[in-house]
Amino acid sequence: MPAIAPRLRAPIAAALRGERAVLSDLTDAELAAFEQHGIAPLLFAASSAPQLRGAAMRASVLEPLRLVELRRVLDGLRMQPLILKGTALAYSLYDRPELRPRADCDLLIAESDRAVVAESLAARGYEQAIDSGDELALRQASFSRVDPFGVTHVLDVHWAITNTPVFANALTYDELAQRAVSLPHIAANARGLCDVDALLLACIHRVAHHHESERLIWLVDVDRLRQRMTSDQHREFWQRAAERRIAATCETMIALAGQWLERTPHDRAGDWLPADALRDERHFPDRHQRRAAVLAANVAALPTWRQRAQRVRQLAFPPRAFMFESFSTRSRAALPWLYVWRALRGLARLFRRVGE
């Protein structure tokens, strides 16, 4: 994520807390940074800065089309998915859903429903993206459709909360479904995570998928969830975090959100947990370590040596369809050389740091 200029830290913190703010003389680089951090509509709502009007208008125009499409998808499925992350939070945490930008809609399903969901989406014009075939590290499928207005709708359908084996079983579909809540502003049949589970997922997602990214909209999600939670919910959150051995991961995320939004610390891990709870943690490399460490952690997290060998084999030799798609070719003669090139490129990347 691009850095935020020091002169803007205080007004942005106020805006992200929902207060009025003054933002003027914004540079093109600063405007681009706001877009990448996902906070441009929020900043416009708080400041009415003319330079942010375009981003806010785009979000306002797209949101009704997204909602109609999501309702269409939910009505057509023969099972009830859980709506995750940005879309669920947009309709439950924010004054208006267009204030919470997002590129796709995340759905969580039971793994046994994968075929049913794929069939239902195909019948409604969705195309499934070709994936790498890496079954032990890819627990989602991406589907897309272009509507009559030319808007591309992307659904990421997950059957685990994260692709990363280290965290994949920290929260399961069955338990999340038992605690799920209604999302009536989306549809009568829409369900999402309760606040405690949504906060746990937000903390896991930042580490497992985005290597400790400081994207500001994710910090706003965390802050708004915490501000809405009761004391009992905070206690339940930390107890559940300790049980899943992610308390230190959650503490880091919550501290960062509090620092950015200039909140007085409250209901932190130390208020609810003994000190040793933060030491009993799932190990996952941070963004300063090599990518080889990430691969090693993910392989080691698999329960059997057979699965670990399968993970490495699938990583090294993805399906031909994936190779043809990745390298924009259909030449069978070139395929062996493409595998060699991919392997060399992959080996070189293993020595780069995660944050690079």
* Confidence check: pLDDT of 353 > 80: no
At 141, phi and psi to the nearest 5? Answer: -135, 145
Question: With 80 as the cut, is the pLDDT of residue 2 above it?
Answer: yes
* Block residue for tokens 């913190």: 13
Q: What integer pLDDT is reported at residue 344 of this predicted model?
A: 85
Looking up tokens 């990745």 gives: 326
Q: For residue 250, name the pLDDT band (cuts at 50, 70, 90).
A: very high
Surface-to-core class of residue 330, CB atoms within 10 Å of its CB (0-12 exposed, 13-18 middle, 19+ buried): exposed
pLDDT of residue 177 exceeding 90: yes
**The residue to which tokens 């985005």 are assigned:** 210
pLDDT of residue 322: 85
Tell whether the model's pLDDT for residue 178 goes beyond 90: yes
pLDDT score, position 106: 96
Average pLDDT, the chain: 90
pTM: 0.88
pLDDT value at residue 356:
66
**Residue carrying structure tokens 């369900």:** 191
Q: What is the greatest pairwise CA distance in the chain?
A: 64
Reply yes or no on whether the pLDDT at 44 is more than 70. Answer: yes
pLDDT interval class at 349 (50, 70, 90): confident
Question: CA-to-CA distance for 343 and 339, rounded, in angstroms?
Answer: 6
Res 331: pLDDT: 86
pLDDT at 295: 74
pLDDT band at 210 (very low <50, low <70, confident <90, very high): low
Question: Residue 172 above 90 pLDDT?
Answer: yes
Q: Could you read off the pLDDT of 124-166 as tens digits, one per residue?
A: 999 999 877 777 678 899 999 999 999 999 999 999 998 888 8
User: Tokens representing 37?
Assistant: 């951090």
Residue 274 exposed, middle or buried by CB count within 10 Å (0-12, 13-18, 19+): exposed
For CA atoms 199, 161, 278, 351, give the dihedral sign.
negative
Q: For residue 212, what pLDDT band results from cuts at 50, 70 and 90?
A: low
**What is the number of alpha carbons within 13 Å of residue 127 lying toward its C-beta?**
6
3-state secondary structure 41-54: HHHHHHHCCHHHHH
52: Cα separation from own chain's centroid: 25
pLDDT score of 354: 66
Taking only the tens place, the pLDDT of each residue in 261-311 is: 999 999 999 999 998 877 767 666 666 677 777 777 777 778 788 888 887
**In the chain, where are the structural domains located?**
6-278, 291-350
